[in-house]
Each structure stands twice: as structure tokens, then as C-alpha cells.
Chain A
Amino acid sequence: MSFWLAIIVGVLYSAGIYMMMRRSVVKLIIGLALLSHAANLLIFTGAGIVREKAPIISKFQETVSNNADPLPQALVLTAIVISFGVLAFALVLTHRAVESVGTDDLDQMKETDT
């Protein structure tokens, strides 16, 4: 399955980068969101994947083994939350920018004093 996940990572990266190079600022933000999905999956897949076994210690044991790696999960969890913060901020920022400039075309946002 990691082959297919790698394909997804590639598709997400391609789409994210492509969208970041568009002129519409909304597309830029969509690209940003796709890119953060890509990065999260990259970390998740890159560390090696195991089906179904969550890193949770059952009631009758003191440790776990042969389960999914908890470390990349902790990293990705942080990454998801941070990327949400960034995305939310970017959204509101562009919202205000679009509001005051009157267009979502990045090429018309080059002046600093609108």
C-alpha cells in the first residue's frame, strides 16, 4: 500500500504546487491546503506504515509492540494543527486583502498602498 500512498503524496504535491503558481489568491490558499496534506502524508508514509494496530496499550499489558509507529503520528498531529492555524490566518488575511483591493488577482495586488 505504501506505493499507492506515495502516489497520493506525489499527486498532492503536484496539485499543491500547481495551485500555488496560479494568479488567483483563492487558488493559492487551496494550494497551501493541498500542500499541507501532502506534507502530513509524506511524514506518515515515510516512517513506514502498519495496518490497523494503533499505538494504544491495552488494559492487560504494560507496553505495546508491532503496532503503528507513534512518533510520526505525534509529529503529524502537531503539523495538522499548525497548518490549520496558518491556513486560517491566511484565509482571513486574503479575505481582507480581496475586500480592500476588490480583486483576487495577485498581479493587481502589487501596490503597497491600496
Chain B
Amino acid sequence: MVLAVFSLFLFSFFTPFLCRVFQKKSGWLFSLLPLSLTLYFLSQTSLILQGQTLTHTFEWVPLLNFSFSFHLDGLSYLFAMLICGIGTVIVFYSGSYLEGDRYLGRFFCSLFVFMGSMLGVVLSNNVLVLFVFWELTSLSSYFLIGYNHEKKESRYAALQALLVTGLGGLALLVAVLMAGSAVGSFEITVWVERWQTLISSPYISAIVILVLLAAFTKSAQFPFHFWLPNAMQAPTPVSAYLHSSTMVKAGIYLVARLNPVFSETPLWFTTIEIAGLTTMIVGAVLSFTQNQYKLVLAYMTVTALGMILFLLGMGTAYSVAAALVFILVHALYKAALFLIAGAVDHETGEKDLRKLSGLRSKMPLTAIIALVCGLSMAGVPPLFGFIGKELFLESTLKTQLFYPLNIWVVSFTSLFIVCAACFTGLKPFFGKLAVTPKKPHEAPLALYLGPLIFAVLSVGFGLYPKVLDSFVTASVHTLVRSSSDHVHLALWHGFNQAFFISMTVLAVGVAFYLLRDVSLKLFKPLAIFKSLGPEKAYQIFLKILNSVAKTQTLILQNGFLRYYVFFIILTAVFLCGWVVFLHQETLQMTFNFSDIKFHEFLLVLLIIAATLASTVLRSRISAIISLGVVGYGVSVIFVIFGAPDLAMTQIVIETLIVVLFILVFYHLKPFQNLSSKGSKLRDALLALSAGALMTFLVLAAQDVQYAESISPYFEQNSWLLAHGRNVVNVILVDFRALDTLGEITVLAIAGLGIFILLKLKLGKK
């Protein structure tokens, strides 16, 4: 399982080279990897059906409880199958769709990274690992959406997706850290076990809100839905993949995965229900007003995501089962329809649905597939979509929350879905043949094979839903804490309320579609929301962010060295001083002014006087000589306090420095008065406070000993082990000889640098 995830990452490195070698065949060849992964996950089916889980763990940072742990249960299995299965189709589809494209290798590279990170998200049991993969999906989708990077809209959409989902990613990180410290573990399985500890944490509201923020941004829930339709700038296979089984489903996965942990929190399920209901109706209405093939589908995805979240939020075994089934239903018809949209665009060069019709005669196979998928989307029996819709309606009828508003919202949403299904599945293929930019003919095998498989599966699952029965039961078991009722999937549920609603919606939906031109006028007033919608808020926010960044860069990073120093020191003094202020009671300082001899006192005065002189003197020579006095003074301190080696070194080096200074700066004019009085005063104040802080820290550090000193070891073994009597020297050349080697290297490099600088002939070009 670990190998499954990492093989995709590993493979992504080689795609650009392999692409050059295999050219046109690369799509088919590359799809073998996801295909074999699909087969691998398929081979685990019996395990999943028994309700067992497969786990692989290897420790990474055991001290921090951080391990790569992967976990395959029913939910992960469903997602892994979708990611790899649909991924297989996407890979060979893109090979044909983007044939001859310059950046095909790069495209496959991002696609495989994306696939790998998506698989990582749904398989990780450690939330920190999950977070890493979660961010990787955002990052790789950025490259996928911005694939046509020469187009401004593409770059805008890619950045938008990255920023919106990146915001969610940060929220997720904070949430998992908070929750992890509350539970004491980062394993999801442990969270599920100790859910009571977690939800009794004082920060539970914050955790829930942050997790939901992550899920909602990723899954394009209202008001974050705007990035998803914009992401249509991506090449069609990418849209199909992002929308059907990956990326936006990551948020769904997160909610489903954490549902057993948080489901007792009212904040959790009410927020999800509200978001789900709002999103489904907003997506449905917006979808109705669109004319572009892919955009209609994109808003339908928003709707479907809202529906799935709505089902998950109810939290009953029945509704979660419905959610799982609906995820599969939606993935199958949505991937197929997107791929068909791509194929139609590819063959006709037309994206506007209003101008497409009658393609049936030219693309018969595509037409049949589109018909099947469209009917599945509309929820017409005996297709799989019908079962999904029945479960959806029945779950809604069973819930008490927001009754009866939810039924109205759900019915209206379904109505718009029927419209969209007619519009995308039927309209382009039936009626009179329209004139299109390109002369249409049947798409190549790579373009219709995928949708064909999905359509066959839609029919197959529709007619024999029983094959999914045991899978759904086994998966729901892990996702709902009190799962007593069993769910049986069947095509025919009898003449119940849900069936009547379903049929009514179907009929009204078709009527609504036929009167589309008239009914569109009803939605005209909605256009004003375009300028007030959340996307506008996003743009304004981005503008403010940019101007704030610009202002603060101008202040903090203005290119003047002294301001950099100023702000660094100011920050350090402030932070340090603040900590000292907070802990002032714990500090014990003993001042001993009198422990000083007369000659020492004179030395102190000399050093201080020389230091001041070197800062205020106008003449360069005097300033440099004062600096030398400071250095010699310090070496006398070393003499007094038993450090003859230091004293010798200091004297030698101080002499060298003074000589160097004088050699280099002798010919320069005296210091000019460059700064104003005010700025001098400001700098002096800051410098004094920094100095005071340092003095204070030295005094405070006097009585502190955190770890046992290692000096006694050197003192005892210097003669016995290293045969040297001067302990300092022995440390330098024996115990820590490697450090000294490093020091010599630094000196050598400095020497080389100086040599080169002196030899460098400037200004002679």
C-alpha cells in the first residue's frame, strides 16, 4: 500500500523522459501503472467485504509520535478505486486529447504527483501525513489547472484554486494540531476510539470550524464554490478527474472520515447541513444559467458535492450509505460526461451547448454513452443514478433537521439536475445537426473507451445493485458509530413517497428544460449577484493583501542596511524583554558591586571610555586607535581571569586589526556628519536598550545551570588521555580537533576571498 502511493511519485519523475521516448504511445503505456494499482486494490476486495482493515505503518519520528501509517478500510477502498480506476482512463484519454502537446511530459508529471497525493490523502491514518498529502494535492492541482500557463485566465484560476484550498490547508493543520494535542495522538483510528476526550476538549468549536473550513474550501462549498468553475481552465481530462473522483472529493472524504469523531457535536452537523443545502441549490441555479458545456457540468459538481455533504451530515447509517453510493454514482456519470464534453470539443471545436445539436448521426457511439450517463444523472430507472437519487430522497425524508425546508430544497435541486442532464446528455446529440467550426466525426478509441466503461458500469450497478450491498454495509460500519440498521440497495423500492417525488421532479424537470428560454428570464435578476458574490470578496481580499504586503515591504525591506538592523534589534529587544517581563518573579539576581579591585576598576573605566570614544570621535585614526584600546583592554580581562591563551590571541589579532584598519582607511577623509540628530537619538536609544538587555541577561544567566557541565571531563582527561597540560589547547587540537579544522577552513576561505578582492581589477572593462 505504501508502495502504491510512492510508486506514483517515483514514476512522475520519469514521465518527461519517457514521454519523449514513447511519443504518441505514452498515454496508453502510462495508464498501465494506475491500472495495476486498481487491480491491486481490487484484490483487497474480499478483505474489505469482511469488514477488515489493512494497515501498514513505518515509524518516521517515533519521539514525536509521527509515523507513516496507512489504512485501508471501506471508505478508503472506495476512494482508492475511484482515484486509480478513473485515473487509468484519464491517463490514456489525455495521451490522445493532448497529443503532440509540447508540455505533455510535464503534464503527466503533475498528473501522477496529483494522483499519488490524492491516494495518500485517502489512505493515511496519521493526520499529519494526511495534511502533507492534502497540501500536495493543492500544489499539484495548481500546476494542472494552470497547464495552459500562457493564458491569463488559466494562471488566475490556478492561483485562485491554490489560495482558496491553501487557506483550507492551513486551517486543517491548525485543527489537527489542536485535536492531536487534545487526544494525545495523531492517528485517526485513535481519534475515533477516544472521540469523547476530543469533543470534551475546550477547543472543540475551534477544531470543528477549522476542519470544516478545510473541507468546505477543498470541496467547493458555498461560499468557497467559486474556484471550481474557474478551474475549468484546465485541460478537459484534468477537469474530469478533479471533479469526479479527486480534489473536491478530498473534502468529502475528510468529513466522512471524521464523522464518527465529531458527529455528536451539534456545531458539526448543523454547519454541514446548512452548507450542504445552500451549496446544492446555489450550484443548481447557477448551473441552469450557464451555456458552456463544461461550466454547466462544473456547477453540477458543486451541487453534487453539496448533496453528498448533506447526506454525510445527517450521520445515520442510512444516509451515510446513501452518501457512499452517491459518490460512486456521481463519479461515474460526471467523469463520463466531462470526457464526452472534451471529445465533443475535440471533434467539433464548439463549447457552447446552444450551438451543438444532432451529433448523433456523426458520433453515434458517443451519443449513446452520453445518453446513458445523462439519464443516470437525471435519475431515470433502471440506471445507477436512479438508485442514488432514491437513497438521497429517502434519507432526506427521514431526517428531522430543517424539515420541511430540506425537502423543498432537495426537490428543487433535483429538478435543476434533470434540466442539466437533458442539456448536457441529450441536447448536443439529438435534433437537427448544427454547423460547427470543425467537421465532426466519431472520436478515437482513447476518447470514448473511458466514458464507455463508466456508462456500462452505470447500467451494471443499476441492474444489479446487490453487488454493492455487502460493500456498503461493511463500509458504513466504520463510519457511523451506532450502525444498527442495514441498508439494502435495490432498484425497486415500491411506490413510496421518495418514488413519487422522484417521478414528479423528473417530469417537471423535463418540462422546465423544454421551456428553458422562458424560464431563464426568471433568473435574470440573479446576475447582480455576480458583482456581489464571494468571488468579488476574494478579489478585494487579494487586493488588500497585496497592498498590505507592499506597504510592509517598503517599511521593513527598503534596501537600507541600517533599517534592517534597526528592525531586527527592535524585534529582538521587544520579544526578549517581553519574556523577561512575564517571568520577572522567577528571576533571582544577586548584585555584587564591591567584588572588584582598584586596578580592575580602572580597566573597566578604560574600556568603557575607549568604547565611547570609538563611537563619537570624528577622526578616523582616533576611532580606530580607540577600537584597539578596547581590544587590548579585553585581553587584559582575559589575563586577569585565567585565560592566557585568549589574551595572547586577542593581542595578536587586535594588533593585526588596527594595522589593517589603518592601511585600508588611512587615506579616507574624516567622518562626515551624515545622520540627523533625531535619527542618532533614536538609534542610540535602541542600542542602549539592547545593551541593557544584554547586561541583564548576563547577570540573569549567572546562577543558571541547565545541563551538567562537560568541562570536568576535559580537565580530568587532558593529561591522562591526550597528554597535554594546557586544557584549552588540548580541547582545541585534540578533543574538538574537527571544529578547529573547520575554523582553519573558514580562515583559509576568508584569506582566499581577500586575495581575490585585492587582485580584482575594477573599472577596466
A57→B727 contact, CB < 8 A: yes
Q: Is B720 an interface residue (CB 8 A)?
A: yes
Task: Given A26-B668, A110-B559, verify A80-B646 contact (CB < 8 Å).
Answer: yes
Name the CB-closest residue of B to A33.
B627
B694→A42 contact, CB < 8 A: yes
- Give the residues in chain B near A23, CB-CB below 8 Å: 562, 674-675
- Provide the bound-state CA to CA distance between A80 and B757, in Å: 23
Chain B proximity of A62: nearest CB distance (Å): 5
Name the CB-closest residue of B to A2.
B702
- Give the residues in chain A near B17, CB-CB below 8 Å: none
Q: Is B665 an interface residue (CB 8 A)?
A: yes
- Give the residues in chain A near B692, CB-CB below 8 Å: 10, 14
Name the CB-closest residue of A to B609.
A11
| One of B68-76, B90-98, B381-389, B592-600 at the interface | B592-600
- Provide the bound-state CA to CA distance between A17 and B573, in Å: 12
Task: Given A57-B718, A74-B732, verify A68-B642 contact (CB < 8 Å).
Answer: yes
Q: Is B657 an interface residue (CB 8 A)?
A: yes
Within 8 A of B (CB), among A1-17: 1-17
- Give the residues in chain A near B709, CB-CB below 8 Å: 69, 71
- Give the residues in chain A near B694, CB-CB below 8 Å: 9-10, 13, 38, 42
| One of B483-491, B504-512, B680-688 at the interface | B680-688
Q: Is B518 an interface residue (CB 8 A)?
A: no
B604→A81 contact, CB < 8 A: no
**A 22-38 binary contact with B (CB < 8 Å = 1; else 0):** 11101111100110011
- Give the residues in chain A near B493, CB-CB below 8 Å: none
Q: Which of A1, A13, A50 makes the CB contact (< 8 A) with B600? A: A1
A70→B695 contact, CB < 8 A: no
Name the CB-closest residue of B to A23.
B674
Chain A proximity of B392: nearest CB distance (Å): 64
Within 8 A of A (CB), among B632-664: 634, 637-638, 640-646, 649-650, 653, 656-657, 660-661, 664
A8→B747 contact, CB < 8 A: no
Q: Which of A20, A34, A99 makes the CB contact (< 8 A) with B762? A: A99
Name the CB-closest residue of A to B731.
A74
B600→A73 contact, CB < 8 A: no
A71→B710 contact, CB < 8 A: yes
A63→B646 contact, CB < 8 A: no
- Give the residues in chain A near B638, CB-CB below 8 Å: 44
- Give the residues in chain B near A65, CB-CB below 8 Å: 712, 715
- Provide the bound-state CA to CA distance between A50 and B637, in Å: 11
Q: Is B193 an interface residue (CB 8 A)?
A: no
Q: Which of B559, B604, B668 makes the CB contact (< 8 A) with A104? A: B668
Chain B proximity of A68: nearest CB distance (Å): 3
- Provide the bound-state CA to CA distance between A64 and B646, in Å: 19
- Provide the bound-state CA to CA distance between A44 and B604, in Å: 16
B566→A92 contact, CB < 8 A: no
**B 722-765 binary contact with A (CB < 8 Å = 1; else 0):** 00011110011000100110010011011101100110101100
- Give the residues in chain B near A74, CB-CB below 8 Å: 728, 731-732, 736
| One of B101-109, B318-326, B610-618 at the interface | B610-618
Chain B proximity of A85: nearest CB distance (Å): 4
Task: Given A33-B627, A77-B645, A80-B653, verify A55-B727 contact (CB < 8 Å).
Answer: yes
Count, chain B residues at interface, CB 8 A: 98
**A 91-105 binary contact with B (CB < 8 Å = 1; else 0):** 111111011100011
Task: Given A15-B612, A37-B634, A106-B560, verify A54-B643 contact (CB < 8 Å).
Answer: yes
B653→A100 contact, CB < 8 A: no
- Give the residues in chain B near A87, CB-CB below 8 Å: 657, 660
A17→B650 contact, CB < 8 A: no
A51→B640 contact, CB < 8 A: yes
- Provide the bound-state CA to CA distance between A20 and B718, in Å: 41
Chain A proximity of B171: nearest CB distance (Å): 40
Within 8 A of A (CB), among B618-637: 620, 623-624, 627, 630-631, 634, 637
Q: Which of B600, B630, B665, B686 makes the CB contact (< 8 A) with A17? A: B686
B591→A3 contact, CB < 8 A: yes
Q: Is B707 an interface residue (CB 8 A)?
A: no
A11→B739 contact, CB < 8 A: no
- Give the residues in chain B near A84, CB-CB below 8 Å: 653, 656-657, 747
Name the CB-closest residue of A to B626.
A30
B702→A18 contact, CB < 8 A: no
Name the CB-closest residue of B to A89.
B750
Chain A proximity of B548: nearest CB distance (Å): 25
Q: Is B714 an interface residue (CB 8 A)?
A: yes
Task: Given A30-B627, A33-B657, A62-B719, verify A77-B600 contact (CB < 8 Å).
Answer: no
Q: Which of B608, B650, B716 makes the CB contact (< 8 A) with A8? A: B608
Task: Given A34-B627, A50-B642, A53-B642, verify A22-B754 contact (CB < 8 Å).
Answer: no
B757→A96 contact, CB < 8 A: yes
Q: Is B698 an interface residue (CB 8 A)?
A: yes
Q: Is B565 an interface residue (CB 8 A)?
A: yes
- Provide the bound-state CA to CA distance between A17 and B660, in Å: 22
Name the CB-closest residue of B to A105.
B674
Q: Is B132 an interface residue (CB 8 A)?
A: no
- Provide the bound-state CA to CA distance between A113 and B643, in Å: 47
- Give the residues in chain B near A20, CB-CB below 8 Å: 562, 565
A96→B760 contact, CB < 8 A: yes
- Give the residues in chain A near B727, CB-CB below 8 Å: 55-57, 64, 70
B674→A70 contact, CB < 8 A: no
- Give the residues in chain A near B611, CB-CB below 8 Å: 11-12, 15, 34
- Provide the bound-state CA to CA distance between A88 and B751, in Å: 8
A10-B696, A56-B727 given; name 20 further pairs at CB < 8 Å.
Answer: A4-B593, A6-B696, A10-B694, A12-B611, A15-B615, A17-B691, A26-B671, A33-B627, A41-B637, A55-B728, A57-B725, A59-B725, A62-B720, A74-B728, A74-B736, A76-B643, A77-B649, A81-B747, A92-B758, A98-B668
Closest 4 CB pairs of A and B: A14-B691, A10-B695, A68-B642, A85-B750
Q: Which residues of A contact B (CB under 8 A)?
A: 1-24, 26-30, 33-34, 37-38, 40-42, 44-46, 48-59, 61-65, 67-71, 73-74, 76-78, 80-82, 84-89, 91-96, 98-100, 104-107, 110
6 A-B contacts (beta carbon < 8 Å): A13-B691, A14-B690, A44-B646, A76-B643, A77-B649, A80-B650
